[in-house]
Amino acid sequence: METIEAIRAILEKGNVVAMTGAGISQESGIPTFRGKGGIWERYNPAIYANVAGLFGVFLTKPYRMRDFILEFYETIHNAKPNKAHYILAEMEKRGILNSIITQNVDNLHQEAGSKNVIELHGNMLRFRCTKCMKENKFDEEGLEEFIYRLKRASRLQLIRLIFPKCDCGGRYRPDVVLFGESLPQDEFGRAYVEVGNANSLLLIGTSGIVYPAATLPFYAKEHGAIIIEINPSPTALSHIGDYTILEKASIALPKIFEFLTPPI
């Protein structure tokens, strides 16, 4: 049997979980961090990817910090889900996909209509109070206003915008996991249950080098899941893949599920 047909037959049995990384959103206009045009070409990750480094930049070069944050939010604001996001949402609607475990922070799975999305690294559109844990999420208008104000903020206003005050007296921050921070334990726990029970795991656009997220495919394999990888380049996880499609997500997924492909 052709590989594509074999994969389709496995996925149609249902009980599928997808694990996605930056690669699935690359064709939506969000560059992978490490790839060409990625943010780490312009900002040193040793400084900009952790709390201490970011805080240091904020104190010494607040507008450089603002530009870094602005670039993130503008990129996400301009991005729209692509075929791969929509096909995963359609698979869920048809009852063959149980959940998506994503390392992305861009909200594009939800925008495409996916409901059961486990976010291992948070979501840029959500802010969380560091004291009482209350959450706020931007809608389209809220995001636009945030970007507008960010562009015009004075140094003091920048702090109030990025770390707004909560009613409890604490401060909100963007709800994303930076280097050195631990993953949200509830989400990570749910992800383990999902992959442990899955019949197959679709690995899409993840390099498999960011830990502890990268332990999940190994756990799935140990628990009997068939591993199907979609990525234009081989990855650190390819050796545990039962099937590998060396193609972009928005090309490979429509090949497997022509009939689920949305007209975009």
Q: Is 77 a catalytic residue?
A: no
Please, what is the minimum distance in Å from the beta carbon of residue 233 to ligand NAD?
Answer: 4
Among 83, 85, 121, 128, binds ligand NAD (CB under 6 A): 121
The binder of 131, among ligand NAD, Zn ion, none, by C-beta within 5 to 8 A per type, is Zn ion
DSSP 3-state of 18 = strand
What angle, rounded to 10 degrees, do the helices at 62-78 and 140-152 form?
150
Q: How many CB atoms lie within 10 A of CB 190?
A: 16
Query: How many residues touch Zn ion (CB under 5 A)?
Result: 7
Going by C-beta distance under 8 Å and a sequence separation of 6 or more, which residues neighbour residue 197? 15, 98, 223
- Kindly list the distances between the CA atom of residue 163 and the CA atoms of 15, 157, 181, 234, in Å, as whole numbers in the listed order: 40, 10, 18, 39
Using rule CB under 5 A, residue 14 touches Zn ion: no
Using rule CB under 6 A, residue 99 touches ligand NAD: no
What span, in angstroms and rounded, lies between the C-alpha atoms of 264 and 162?
35
What residue number has its CB nearest to ligand NAD? 23
Query: Which is nearer to ligand NAD, 158 or 208 (by Cβ)?
Result: 208
Among 64, 94, 131, 223, binds Zn ion (CB under 5 A): 131
Please, what is the minimum distance in Å from the beta carbon of residue 55 to ligand NAD?
Answer: 20
Using rule CB under 6 A, residue 123 touches ligand NAD: no
Cβ(83)–Cβ(264) below 8 Å? yes
| Bridging pattern class, strands 16-20 and 200-204 | parallel
Helix (H) or strand (E) holding 185: helix 185-197
The binder of 98, among Zn ion, ligand NAD, none, by C-beta within 5 to 8 A per type, is none
Among 166, 237, 245, 260, binds Zn ion (CB under 5 A): 166
Residues that bind ligand NAD (CB under 6 A): 21-27, 30, 32-34, 103-106, 121, 204-207, 209-210, 230-233, 235, 248-249
Q: Report the catalytic residues.
A: 121
